[in-house]
Structure 1
Amino acid sequence: MERKLPLEGIKVVELGTHVAVPNATRFMADWGAEVIKVEGVRGEEWRVIGNSYYTPVADDENPIFTVQNANKEFIAIDLKNPDGMEIMKKLIREADIFISNVRLNSLKKMKLDYEAVKPLNPQIIYCHFTGFGYEGPDRNRPGFDMAAYWARSGAMSDWVSKGDYPIKPPGGFGDATVSANICSGILAALYARTQSGKGTFLTSSLYSSAIWYNSTGIVSTQEKYGNVYPKDKNQPVNPFSHIYKCKDEEYVIITVLDYNNSWEKMVTMLGFSEYLNDERFNTILAVRENMDEFIKIINHAFLKKDREEWCQLFDQADIVYEKLAHMSEVTKDPQAWENNFLTEVTFPNNNTAILPTVPIQFSEYEVTKYIPSGKVGRDSLEILQKLGYSEAEFAELVEKKAIK
């Protein structure tokens, strides 16, 4: 049978909350896997995160929650209820992949840790995601991306200009980057299983991923190298690879890596060619000794034109640059639309929102329709029927509050 999507036939059971784990399984859902999201009967906390970002959190319109949870099936189970736990075990027995970010102590109490799950399904690929890893003094600490990813890795303090307030990204940014690690590890294990027939346990964490992604800073700030952050915005290592304010108070970044070979072109374009042969500035070593003076000259030059005027000049000169866009501009960007990086999604109440698409495109497979998330336990009946439960048994489980 010809596959319409690359992961058709793969079943994933997600016991995940917030962003990293649900985002990883969202990839797999879009690629054709059957992803069953298991929530408690109240639903997971990320369902109401929209309250902090001025977006709806209703069952029939929940755009932020939908980004991580579109195209999944939803079942709500009380895992403290014996009947609910039996349902969970049946789901695991049929699964190819089980993934969770529930803390290890809780998984062990429920007998859903890897050692307990493996006898149920020896071929299962079991992924457990943590804040800080399996060892060390902080192994049992909870860790959201703001704490374990941004704060612990030094990014919050050191990515700002010297003296500025620490950055605070929108929630889930670090989680979303980590989800790619989780997904790639799972797919590697899935491929290995086709060769060996063996399931496996794998793990990743917010903190380990933040260290990996922030490697340039973490390596270079070791004492033996001596790089120091945060940086003084008026003391760039290379003033032709820096951020500048324009006349309209918008910002632009230029990224010219070879200062010496670009000197003539840059000073001519920026409009201060009288400094062309000035030995204080015309080499990278010289300008670093005279940066206070040169940064004033270049800052003054940028304040003579609006951002769009500078962008036109950079385009004409084939300079690598980008305007510092505002997040509100992205949904109006034709580049994003023409490449299908965004799509308009219609919710069950007929309201629409512009949402990001999974950032991978295949030439030989279809694009999955964007099906919004729904209410807690939306697909419980259908999922249980696939497991062999009758409608009468379903009603009894609802009455016992084992499921919702």
Structure 2
Amino acid sequence: MGALNHLRVLDLSRVLAGPWCGQNLADLGADVIKVERPITGDDTRQWGPPFLRNSEGKETTESAFYLAINRNKRSITVDISKPEGQEIIKKLVLQSDIVIENYKVGQLKKYGLDYESLKGIKNDLIYCSITGFGQTGPYAHRPGYDYIVQGMGGFMSVTGEKEDLPGGGPQKAGVAIADIFTGMYATSAILAAVVHRDRTGVGQYIDLSLLDVQIATMCNVASNYLTSGVPPKSWGNASANIVPYQTFKASDGWIIVAAGNDSQFRHFVESGHEPQLADDPRFATNPERVRHRTELDPLLQKMVLKKTKKEWIELLDIANVPCGPINNFKEVFENEQVIARNIKMEMPHPTAGKVNLVRSPMRLSETPVVEHRPPPLLGEHTHEILQSKLGLTESQIKSLKEQGII
């Protein structure tokens, strides 16, 4: 059941960054136990509409948001504010390799579920904390949200149309990129810690900050500033460093052309019957095209308007110039390449009968991802885990439920 089937993860995180990490590990075979609050569970269960519909067509309490990030996990409900709930978590920690949490800095310490406390009962534990601003620094105790971090980390200053054009100004991404990337970095860091533990027997603490991740993922844009001392600005759908690397309006819609070198630029303009543009000294090389983009852009736009999207994509495909359409999600999932890669998947679901999800993009030849569990119902596996992993009797489980601990 995957490369990580020897690992158990206790996932105390909520919302997006932590659960995204947990789903990655679960897709790779780890046994991920999602710990949720009794009655309400993870906040994202209610982040809709849309909600999954049951076999009778009625809305369930499973939002599309929640479904996207909780595949292959088991759900257990535990009230960690009560001593009995804390004891359940500690017993599960003894049988786990990894803990993921995204509580405010210091919040779990009052429950005895912080790293130092749990390390005392399992010294090779790998413990990953995800917060908005990290465990140190003047902002450590602030709540951190993806949207705020996109602004603070510079992303929104370089995203959106140019400020001097209609609609210009800062723009967030259409998906919570700081959360998603933090989940990806957390996955990598945890796997590195597993390798270290397997070699040395020593666990460790991982401190991940959304703000740190947002700045790190600015990559060449941040490097442009560090190299030049000039704050980068927004370029809309164009690139600050490559021309043409942008959208163009064809006669019936929009296309993207990403000519990453001079040869591709020549093939682009030759396909549009404007070969003289590649011979013009202002446009012959990428640095010159970047310097003279204001003269070049309208010439290219005029050229592209003469053909349809389909005509351009066919021509540029033959010419080996990277290009593509701008699809809505209906078009995404109807695309022949997406269909061929089986990106859309269907899983059985206990209340809806079936649920459609996006398949993991990780393709491993020897230990392939196996989608074996749909996103769990709230507390779906509480009884199973308490009985099989902790050895609790039916009467003990009943008592915990009556007390509101599970």
TM-score by length of 2: 0.89
User: Could you tell me how far apart the structure 1 residues matched to 2:52 and 2:172 are?
Assistant: 22
CA shift in 2, pair 1:86/1:295, >3 Å = same
SS of equivalent residue, structure 1 residue 305: coil
- CA deviations 1:119-170 (Å, max 9, x no partner) are 111111111111111221111111122222x222111231222122433334
**1:95 is the counterpart of 2:96:** yes
**One-letter code of the match for 1:267?**
V
Q: Where in structure 2 are the equivalents of 1:194-233 lying within 5 Å?
A: 194-222=198-226, 224-226=228-230, 228-231=232-235
Residues 235/118 of structure 1: CA separation in 2 closer, same or farther (3 Å cut): closer
1:166 maps to a residue whose letter is P
What SS is found at the alignment partner of 1:190?
A: helix
Q: 2:105 is aligned with what amino acid? A: L
Q: Which residue of 1 aligns with 2:144?
A: 143
Q: Contact 1:60/1:349 (CA < 8 Å) preserved in 2?
A: no
In 2 relative to 1, CA 241–121 (structure 1 residues): closer, same or farther, beyond 3 Å?
A: same
Offset, 1:180: 1.5
2:86 aligns to what? 85
Partner of 1:45: 43
Quick one: which amino acid aligns to residue 310 of structure 2? E
Letter in 2 for 1:388: G
Check the 8 A contact 2:72/2:374 in 1, yes or no.
yes
Conserved in 2, the CA contact under 8 Å of 1:61 and 1:351?
A: no
Q: Deviation per CA, 1:7-60: give whole Å up to 9, x if none.
A: 123111110001111111112212222111111112011111133xx3438557
How far apart, in 1, do the equivalents of 2:191 and 2:240 lie?
41
SS of the aligned residue for 2:121 comes to: coil
SS class of match (1:56): strand
SS at match of 1:128: strand
Alignment of 1:16-35 (within 5 A): 16-35=13-32
Matched-pair identity in %: 29
Partner of 2:303: 301
| SS of 1:381 mapped into structure 2 | helix
User: C-alpha displacement at 1:243, in angstroms?
Assistant: 1.9
Question: 1:196 corresponds to which letter in structure 2?
Answer: T
- CA 1:391–1:271: 2 relative to 1, 3 Å: same
Supply the distance in 2 between the matched residues of 1:112 and 1:103 (Cα, whole angstroms): 13
Check 1:350–1:293 CA distance in 2 against 1; reply closer, same or farther (3 A cut). same
What's the offset of the Cα at 1:282? 4.1
- The answer on whether the counterparts of 2:154 and 2:215 sit within 8 Å (CA) in structure 1 is no
Contact 1:38–1:76 at 8 Å: present in 2 too? Answer: yes
Change (3 A) 1:370 1:48: farther
Task: Tell me how far apart the structure 2 counterparts of residues 109 and 235 of structure 1 sit (CA, whole Å).
Answer: 49
Write out aligned runs for 1:326-337 (5 A).
326-337=328-339
Q: CA deviation at 1:238?
A: 4.3
Question: What is the identity, as a one-letter code, of the residue corresponding to 1:224?
Answer: S
Q: Distance in 2 between matches of 1:37 and 1:5?
A: 19
Distance of aligned partners of 1:380 and 1:219 in 2 relative to their CA distance in 1, 3 Å threshold = same
Matching residue's letter, 2:401 = V
Which residue identity is paired with 1:103?
K
Does structure 2 conserve the Cα–Cα contact (< 8 Å) formed by 1:236 and 1:242? Answer: no
One-letter amino acid matched to 1:9: H
TM-score, length-scaled by structure 1? 0.89
Count of matched residue positions in the alignment of Structure 1 and Structure 2: 395
Matched-pair contact (CA < 8 Å) for 1:59–1:374: no
Q: Which string of whole-angstrom CA distances, capped at 9 and with x for unpartnered residues, describes residues 258-310 of structure 1?
A: 23x45543332122245565455445565556543332221111111121111
Q: Residue 90 of structure 1: CA displacement? A: 0.9
Summarize the alignment of residues 240-279 of structure 1 with structure 2, pairs less than 5 Å apart: 240-250=244-254, 252-259=255-262, 261-262=263-264, 264-273=266-275, 275=277, 277-279=279-281
TM-aligned CA distance change 1:232 to 1:212, over 3 Å: closer
C-alpha RMSD over aligned residues: 2.4
